[in-house]
Amino acid sequence: MIERYDLHSHSTASDGALSPSELVVRAQQQGVTALALTDHDTIQGLDEAKQAAALNGIQLINGIEISTTWENHCLHIVGLNINPEHVSLKTGIAHLQAIRSERAQKIAFKLEKKRIPGAYEAVTLAAGKGMITRSHFADFLLQQNHVSTQQEAFDRYLGQGKPAYVSTTWASLNDTLNWITAAGGVAVLAHPMRYKLSANWMNRLLSAFKESGGQGIEVITGRSSPEEITLTSQYIKRYGLYGSVGSDFHSPANQWVELGRLKPLPEIIKPVWALF
């Protein structure tokens, strides 16, 4: 059987629109044979996803996307094939969950100062037991007609330097990589082109990443251009890393990003799943 991997996706355990089981069913319908659930700073959806995957005949890879601060940049590191029960991983993400909760209160306070009350109650309700993310605030601003798109919510309120932006120190790169590797996982730099790093900074990052145990980079994401794939492949070769593929699917409402709708990994790139 030809495997079709999608190694980056979100559920209602963070800012995804589908429950873990709905996500797995959709992945199966889209032809994915191996799906990683990688919610922001939580492993909470994995049990349900695993059960749904067994029922639907697809493979579920335990994953997480860890918010990381490195040299004042916010980076996302995906951990794949982790043991979600590992103690240092669990303790580490518990700390990030506390940071998320405090940050949500601060964001809501800043919105209140802009005469937008009620955000904390709304996002708490919307997130339920899952992580509160800025996407929840964007949805709230949209529902209250303060903005007309999610993007506008980030551009006017939630993005860096905007009135409701709260600067946050997430996990250090070293800690993130240690938690993932201690839990038996493979650490992957998510969506490398999203950080807008110069070549110089990218080289500094990848040196530090490799030195602390990082093993992969997402070469193929939901919307990678051929130029981005070529560039990322060059970094992979230079640093002796493995390539990952992941849509970063959040919601069926975003018609541009679908589960499993991914270009193939260039043949010269060693796939991260060789490490599982």
Site of interaction with Mn ion (CB under 5 A)? 15, 65, 76, 190, 248
68 is an interface residue for ligand AMP by CB under 6 A: no
Q: Does an H or E element contain 35, and which?
A: strand 34-37
Other CB atoms within a 10 A radius of the CB of residue 211 amount to: 12
Taking the least distance from each CB to ligand AMP, the nearer of 9 and 133 is 133
Taking the least distance from each CB to ligand AMP, the nearer of 51 and 105 is 105
221 is an interface residue for ligand AMP by CB under 6 A: no
Q: Does an H or E element contain 68, and which?
A: strand 59-70
- Residue pair 77/180 in contact by the 8 Å Cβ criterion: yes
Token pair listed for 116 = 């937008």
Q: How far is the CB of 266 from ligand AMP (least distance, A)?
A: 26
Q: Say which entry of ligand AMP, Mn ion, none residue 154 contacts (CB below 5 to 8 A, set by partner kind).
A: ligand AMP
Among 44, 81, 150, 215, binds ligand AMP (CB under 6 A): 150
133 is an interface residue for ligand AMP by CB under 6 A: yes
Q: How far apart are CA 4 and CA 220, in angstroms?
A: 13
Q: Say which entry of ligand AMP, Mn ion, none residue 50 contacts (CB below 5 to 8 A, set by partner kind).
A: none
Q: Are strands 5-6 and 34-37 parallel, antiparallel or unpaired?
A: parallel
Taking the least distance from each CB to Mn ion, the nearer of 76 and 136 is 76
Q: How far apart are CA 26 and CA 32, in angstroms?
A: 9
- Residue pair 137/153 in contact by the 8 Å Cβ criterion: yes
Q: How far apart are CA 30 and CA 24, in angstroms?
A: 10
Q: Say which entry of Mn ion, ligand AMP, none residue 48 contacts (CB below 5 to 8 A, set by partner kind).
A: none
191 is an interface residue for ligand AMP by CB under 6 A: no
Taking the least distance from each CB to ligand AMP, the nearer of 137 and 273 is 137
The residue behind tokens 């800012």 is: 15
- The pairs formed by 101-109 with CB atoms below 8 angstroms and a separation of 24 or more are 101/132, 103/166, 103/168, 104/132, 104/137, 106/166, 107/134, 107/137, 107/158, 107/164, 107/166, 108/137
- What residues between 19 and 58 interact with ligand AMP by CB under 6 A? 40
When CB distances to Mn ion are compared, the closest residue is 76
Q: How far is the CB of 117 from Mn ion (least distance, A)?
A: 25
Q: How far is the CB of 161 from Mn ion (least distance, A)?
A: 19
Residues that bind ligand AMP (CB under 6 A): 15, 40, 67, 133-135, 150-151, 154, 250
